[in-house]
């Protein structure tokens, strides 16, 4: 079966990859747009891009209930293990690849910040390039535009997930340039419409993607699923 991606609102995603349930940046119980609660999701791996509350809020409770392995930059993996009793963690760093049972996860550069909710140092923020049996997904996660996105896309990206909310990340204008650099086959927006400061018109964004880039835009509502 093809990999299924469900948008859980904001920067949160749930992936069904073969027999594996993989979460990215679960921010569910306090998110105004999440269609699910942390108590109701399954996971055997949880990928964490950086330390901000809107990316780590529900990681520990889900990991401790499900036994999922938390995959994050070294400092954040260590923080979950030492401060939140998460038993299984994989600490990595930018440019490294973790070979996981569902595929390869490379931690990519992101230009952002990454303090953890209690003020702890969260290391550098990152994104994830997932090389799966049925394709490649690039989650830019929270970042500004940067020209090295061209290198990330060089190997061929089937689906890119880019932030478009502006204020805390790149906005729609810079996302168009990001799409040109990454050159994915398809692209979906994230990290917008969670709160008023990051409201965006996703349909207007999609129209621009169609006319200004070679990628096919996919606009999801929280809770909707696409196939890779
Ligand atoms: Ni952030
Ligand atoms: Mn964020």
- Structural domains for the chain: 4-227 (3.60.15.10)
- Return the residue matching tokens 């749930």: 14
| Mean pLDDT per 10-residue section of the chain, whose length is 228 residues | 96 98 98 98 98 98 98 98 98 98 98 98 98 98 98 96 98 98 98 98 98 98 98
Q: How far apart are CA 48 and CA 208, in angstroms?
A: 30
Q: Find out whether 106 and 71 touch, Cβ atoms under 8 Å.
A: no
List 47's β-bridge partners, or say none: 24, 71
Distance 165 CA to ligand 2 centre (A): 10
Alpha carbon 25 to its chain centroid, in Å, reads 6
Predicted confidence at residue 110, as pLDDT, reads 98
Distance 183 CA to ligand 2 centre (A): 23
Count the neighbouring beta carbons within 10 Å of the beta carbon of residue 209.
Answer: 24
Distance 3 CA to ligand 2 centre (A): 25
Distance 190 CA to ligand 2 centre (A): 10
Distance 197 CA to ligand 1 centre (A): 14
Predicted confidence at residue 198, as pLDDT, reads 98
Q: How far apart are CA 208 and CA 215, in angstroms?
A: 10
Give the ligand whose atoms come closest to the C-alpha of residue 52. 1
pTM above 0.75, yes or no: yes
Distance 1 CA to ligand 2 centre (A): 31
Distance 205 CA to ligand 2 centre (A): 19
CB burial of 176-191 (b: ≥16 within 10 Å; e: otherwise) equals: bbbbebbbbebbbbbb
Distance 111 CA to ligand 1 centre (A): 10
Structure tokens at 127: 């994104």
């Amino acid at each position: 079966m093809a990999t299924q991606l469900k948008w859980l609102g904001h920067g949160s995603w749930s992936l069904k990859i073969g027999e594996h349930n993989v979460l990215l940046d679960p921010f569910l119980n306090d998110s105004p747009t999440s269609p699910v609660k942390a108590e109701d999701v399954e996971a055997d791996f949880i990928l964490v891009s950086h330390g901000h509350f809107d990316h780590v809020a529900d990681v520990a409770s889900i990991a401790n209930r499900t036994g999922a392995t938390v995959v994050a930059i070294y400092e954040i993996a260590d923080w979950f293990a030492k401060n939140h009793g998460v038993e299984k963690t994989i600490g990595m760093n930018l440019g490294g690849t973790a070979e996981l049972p569902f595929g390869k996860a490379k931690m990519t550069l992101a230009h952002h910040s990454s303090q953890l909710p209690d003020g702890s140092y969260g290391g550098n923020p990152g994104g994830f390039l997932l090389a799966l049996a049925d394709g490649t997904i690039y989650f830019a996660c929270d970042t500004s535009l940067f020209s090295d996105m061209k290198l990330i896309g060089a190997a061929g990206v089937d689906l890119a997930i880019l932030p478009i909310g502006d204020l805390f990340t790149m906005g729609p204008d810079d996302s168009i340039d990001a799409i040109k650099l990454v050159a994915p086959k398809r692209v979906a927006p994230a990290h917008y419409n969670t709160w008023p400061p990051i409201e965006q018109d996703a349909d207007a964004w999609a129209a621009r993607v169609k006319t200004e880039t070679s990628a096919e835009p996919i606009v999801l509502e929280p809770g909707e699923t696409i196939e890779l």
